[in-house]
Structure 1
Amino acid sequence: ASTNPEKLSAAADRLGGAGTARLDITDESAVRDFFDGAGDFDHIVTTAGDWGKGRRGPFAEIDMADADALFRVRFWGAAILAKHGAAHVRPGGSITLTSGMSAFRPQKGSVMATAMAGSIEHLTYGLAVELAPIRVNAVFPGGVATEIFAGLPEEMRKAEEARFASQPLPRIAEPAEVAQAYLYAMKAGYTTGQIIKVDGGAQLAG
């Protein structure tokens, strides 16, 4: 499910005609209707994010409407998805959220991104207790070579690449490498309430 029809079409082609749905996870009534109509799932994963204008900038200059938009998709969207999806998770199933490295390694100008990523992690802990025995975990990616990263201004992209060069695995991850963490979260039947870090050792970098 996505708000982007092009991504839905590409996913259907790559996954052999898998079912798709256009869905805005910040629209609670739409999410509720989606789950009521779609039936049950083995696993639910959310990677939705709209970094928008609220991601970086001096805190004193942040437009709080932009900051609210950041939280609305990443945090509230995840909460809405878990609220209405939990009743449709089959026994032994799981819900996996997505955090980010700002939660532990804040940078100047990233106050709202840091707060948002940290809130996702604590939402994960709370849901793991509240929804048990449904397993709830979060994947914590470091830098990933996504289309969004490739589309950054060259100066910003080079600055990010230089930052990742100081970590034990001195590069950004390929999407397929991060995908393995989501698969682990789905398959690991005795794992819940965990933040699964796929960051190339960024936490160990000076």
Structure 2
Amino acid sequence: MPCLAFRAAAVLPPLGLALGLLSSTHTLAESADSVQSGLPMDTILVTIGRVLQPEQQVIAPVSIIGREEIELRQAGDLGDLLSGIPGVTSSQGPRPEALVPNIRGLGEGRVVMRIDGARQNMAIRHRAQTLIDPALLERVEILRGPASSLYGSGATGGVILFETLDADGFLDPGHDFGGQARLGYQSNNDA
């Protein structure tokens, strides 16, 4: 009889602990489902991996600047548009509106830039600079870190993908024609 009591004393506490954990896991899963279903969230799609996928499934550190944020920033050039992105700085070449990006300390020749999928920063043209008006961009995706296996040589610092507006970006719903006008000013020696 003492042997049976000893076995019960040895088995019951772990069994009770296991049952308690199972019931609490069920409760946590139930509350997580109710919280998830209560919050409407937009899905952000990323094309960094050359395949369109949700941002949550992308392993690499990616920053996305969408159309609304581009309009809010009212950037005069690409350097202004990319300012404030963690790990990304830019310098200007001979043309002040040209972008020479630097991602995590790796600059010219080590960052791939693409506009609508076409590589822009070949060493033979514009000294690896990209010239584009930020007002014509639909979105910008910045991949910080090496990506040479996906984007070829020169992507050891990262990749910047620019997607321009298509014709629908200039049209209001229900209209057959549209356009865009911008006005700005600058002055010298503003400190």
**TM-score range for the pair, normalised by the shorter chain length:** under 0.3
Q: Which has the higher helix share?
A: 1
User: Given the two structures, how large is their TM-score scaled by the length of structure 1?
Assistant: 0.23
Q: Which has the higher strand share?
A: 2
User: Given the two structures, how large is their TM-score scaled by the length of structure 2?
Assistant: 0.24
